[in-house]
Amino acid sequence: MVIKPKIRGFICTNAHPQGCAAVVAEQIQYIKGLGELGDGPKKVLVIGCSTGYGLASRITSAFGYGADTLGVCFEKEPTERKTATAGWYNTAAFHTQAKDAGLYAETLNGDAFSNELKEQVIDKIKADLGQVDLVIYSLASPRRTDPATGEVYKSTLKPVGQAYTTKTYDTDKDKIHDVSLEPASEEEIANTVKVMGGEDWELWLNALSAAGVLAEGCKTTAYTYIGKELTWPIYGSATIGKAKEDLDRAATAINTDHADLEVDAHVSSLKALVTQASSAIPVMPLYISLIYKVMKEEGTHEGCIEQIAGLYTQCLYGDAATLDEQNRYRMDGKETNDATQAKIKALWDQVTQENFHDLSDYAGYHHEFLKLFGFDVAGVDYDADVDPVVNW
Ligand code: NAD
């Protein structure tokens, strides 16, 4: 099969196995290039391990610290006629490279919100690892089935309190236009908290602890985005921001509830960048295209792997952590500092349909977007016939 990108709105519905493998290899090379990282995790559970920040966490754990990794993801497997999702191919490529390096790597593909998957993970840890000493929580999902009631909750991306009109860039139509978003109802806010808040993170830690598979002093972190004024109306102060605030509550609860094991839970705030999750959020493609421009000019541009390498070496396993008043690790300072934000705001105010491609780094954004699915990767022959069926 010759595989070319099939883009529908903010998503690409297919993926290229060799391209995905090349992107995984690039991230592994980056981590290996950092050299000896010192003491770190040994047995790691990554929930949301197949793309974005979770994949970068898995790669950093394995290739930066030689850790055994057990991953959880929700990806579609390939058939003879249809490619897998990118996360499937990423995971297959990760497994190949980890095994070549003599590292344990197993992945369970299923619904992380379910009790069944949690039980499978516990059985796997008991059988293969004994205990885990780091749990990364990196899920991004539009819906969640409550395992206690079977009820399905959907998240929404809406402002809270009042309607909000702002510029956005429609990647599909190459158009800057205004978007007006009505405020969320109380129910929509509560549902978004139910999906993207801290409840499931807590349920994971409770289940792992009750099963005796958490090592003493186990670290755990869940990822958040805080941002600044430009994104607050649609992110930080919006429905998703309310869900992320709930992560702060959950971190405190986890530290209290598992104090006997000295579990160390923190929320980690990371910078905005192109992932499957962020490209679905209105305003984000425009905002990220502008920050790419500004931060590349400043020499501060980072992708998932650079952010996560920094999180591990400075915060999780280093002594240079920047902690905020909520006890969160902050890795977003290069984006959210006032000087950088002022430059982004100046561009934001000027940007129009006519000057968008000059003022922004949309070319860089689009390249990164295609790379998420294994496309536009140097050295990959996209005219070649490739077998979409790749397994791990
Ligand atoms: P992503 O879409 O790249 O990754 C999501 C992961 O979750 C994938 O591995 C996917 O398979 C898995 N997943 C989704 N639903 C699942 C389910 N039901 N069961 C099992 N696995 C499931 O997203 P991302 O951007 O890397 O986001 C990860 C976290 O980082 C999120 O909490 C997000 O809010 C946060 N974050 C993202 C950004 C950003 O700009 N992308 C910035 C800061 C923080």
Q: How far is CA 313 from CA 59, 60, 310, 325, in A?
A: 14, 10, 5, 21
Q: Which atom, in ligand 1's list, is nearest to the CA of 284?
A: 40
Cα separation, 277 vs 171, whole angstroms: 15
Any binding-site annotation on 49?
Answer: yes
74 labelled binding-site residue: yes
The best mutation among 225, 242, 329, 365 to test binding of ligand 1, ranked by most ligand atoms within 8 Å of the C-beta, falls on 225
379 in a domain, yes or no? no
Atom of ligand 1 minimally distant from the CA of 55: 9
119 located within any domain: yes
Residue 387 lies inside a defined structural domain of this protein: no
pLDDT tens track, the chain, 392 positions: 999 999 988 899 999 999 999 999 999 999 999 998 999 999 999 999 999 999 999 999 999 999 999 999 999 999 999 999 999 999 999 999 999 999 999 999 999 999 999 999 999 999 999 999 999 999 999 999 999 999 999 999 999 999 999 999 988 888 899 999 999 999 999 999 999 999 999 999 999 999 999 999 999 999 999 999 999 999 999 999 999 999 999 999 999 999 999 999 999 999 999 998 888 888 899 999 999 999 999 999 999 999 999 999 999 999 999 899 999 999 999 999 999 999 999 999 999 999 999 999 999 999 999 999 999 999 999 999 999 999 98
How many folded domains does the chain comprise?
1
Say how many Å lie between the CA of residue 252 and the centre of ligand 1: 22
**15 carries a ligand binding annotation:** no
CATH code where residue 64 lies: 3.40.50.720
Q: What dihedral do alpha carbons 316, 249, 243, 84 form, nearest 10°? A: 40
pTM of this structure: 0.97
> Can you give the residue range of the structural domain that contains 312?
7-371
Centre a 10 Å sphere on the Cβ of residue 326 and count the other Cβ atoms it contains: 17
Q: Which residues, other chains included, contact 76 with Cβ-Cβ below 8 Å and sequence gap of 6+?
A: 84, 85, 88
Instruction: Assess if residue 312 is contained within a domain.
Output: yes
Decide if 56 is inside a domain. yes
* Residue of 235, 292, 317, 362 marked active site: 235
Angle CA(209)–CA(45)–CA(92) in degrees, nearest 5?
150
- The residue assigned the tokens 């002594």 is 319
In a domain, 388, yes or no: no
User: Does 235 qualify as catalytic in the annotation?
Assistant: yes
Q: Is residue 31 part of a domain?
A: yes
How many residues are listed for the chain in this entry? 392
Q: Decide if 1 is inside a domain.
A: no
Q: For residue 203, report the distance from its CA to the centre of ligand 1, in Å.
A: 18
Distant-in-sequence, close-in-space partners of 41: CB < 8 Å, separation ≥ 6: 61, 65, 67, 133, 134, 219, 316, 317
DSSP one-letter string for 42-73:
SEEEEET-SSHHHHHHHHIIIIIH--EEEEEE
